[in-house]
């Protein structure tokens, strides 16, 4: 399966960053990539980012409401993301679970919304430092998976899982290769149990303190289907350095 290198800009980016996106798109177009690429940006930037990327770099949203429309002041639906030109939506990022009290059921409803709108869906899961210290990393992620995935009648509606341990996000301390290997194998086996053969088609991304210094090692782990990159996706040169590692 082709790996996916995805950026997540979180709540960063004004219109003066559009030239950076244009530069990223030019970098993507200039090299023979052996991976798929995606940039998830704030909803306010999507349509203009799509314009400057001009078909060279797909854009995604970072969250969506479960409903298609309605009296939900300030919210953005999956249909609106699609209308703005997004191909994908991230749901269940730990910053949303933690800061907006999103439960697994809410995340599953958002995943369903993305499916309804025709978007690809990345569902994020990950354990806290406390859960890892208590030996509950695997069970905690399995439970998030079981609760957060929506299954369409014939196949899983989710196209990717992003394993992002909370203690690794923005900390500069990614897990060891052994920890990533163990968790990704565990996630794959949970997906196979939940979806049978369809479970093998779901990419499992790794996210948390990815840089060009550690990306090659993480990408070489067999069950790693790509990366979800925060800080290092904000600048074209840093993002491009990681993309360059997929050329080999
Ligand atoms: O949360 C992340 C991506 O969704 C990871 O963020 P960092 O790469 O900045 O650690």
Residue 208 beta carbon below 6 angstroms from any ligand 1 atom: yes
Mean pLDDT score, 91-108: 97
pLDDT tens-place string over residues 228-239: 999 999 999 999
Mean pLDDT score, 81-96: 98
pLDDT tens-place string over residues 192-218: 998 888 899 999 999 999 999 999 999
- How close is the Cα of 180 to the center of ligand 1, in Å? 15
Mean pLDDT score, 1-20: 97
Specify which residues 227 forms β-bridges with.
5, 206
pLDDT of 113 over the 70 cut: yes
CATH 1.10.3720.10 fits 3-244, yes or no: no
Pocket test for ligand 1, best of 96, 209, 213, 235 (most atoms within 8 A of CB): 209
- How close is the Cα of 70 to the center of ligand 1, in Å? 31
Q: What is the pLDDT of residue 10?
A: 98
pLDDT tens-place string over residues 129-177: 999 999 999 999 999 999 998 766 556 668 899 999 999 999 999 999 9
Q: Which residue has the higher pLDDT, 79 or 155?
A: 79
Proportion of the chain above pLDDT 90, given as a percent: 89
Domain boundaries, the chain: 3-244
- How close is the Cα of 109 to the center of ligand 1, in Å? 23
Residue 164 beta carbon below 6 angstroms from any ligand 1 atom: yes
Using 50, 70 and 90 to split pLDDT, how confident is the model at 52?
very high
């Amino acid at each position: 399966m082709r790996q996916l290198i995805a950026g997540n800009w979180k709540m960063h980016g004004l219109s003066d960053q559009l030239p950076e996106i244009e530069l990223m798109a030019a970098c993507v177009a200039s090299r023979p990539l052996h991976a798929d690429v995606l940039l998830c940006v704030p909803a306010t930037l999507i349509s203009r980012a799509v314009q400057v990327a001009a078909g060279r770099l797909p854009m995604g949203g970072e969250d969506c409401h479960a409903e298609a429309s309605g009296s939900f002041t300030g919210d953005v639906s999956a249909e609106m993301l699609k209308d703005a030109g997004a191909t994908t939506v991230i749901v269940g990022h730990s910053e949303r679970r933690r800061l907006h009290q999103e439960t697994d059921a809410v995340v599953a409803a958002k995943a369903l919304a993305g499916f309804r709108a025709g978007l690809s869906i990345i569902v994020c899961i990950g354990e806290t430092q406390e859960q890892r210290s208590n030996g509950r990393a695997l069970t905690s992620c399995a439970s998030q998976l079981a609760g957060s995935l929506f299954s369409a009648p014939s196949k899983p509606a989710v196209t990717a899982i992003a394993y992002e341990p909370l203690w690794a996000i923005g900390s500069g301390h990614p897990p060891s290769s052994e920890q990533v290997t163990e968790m990704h194998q565990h996630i794959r086996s949970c997906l196979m149990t939940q979806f049978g053969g369809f479970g093998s088609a779901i990419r499992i991304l790794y996210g948390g303190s990815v840089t060009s210094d550690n990306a090659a090692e993480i990408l070489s782990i067999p069950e790693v289907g790509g990366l979800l990159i925060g800080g290092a996706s904000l600048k074209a040169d840093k993002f491009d350095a990681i993309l360059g590692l997929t050329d080999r």
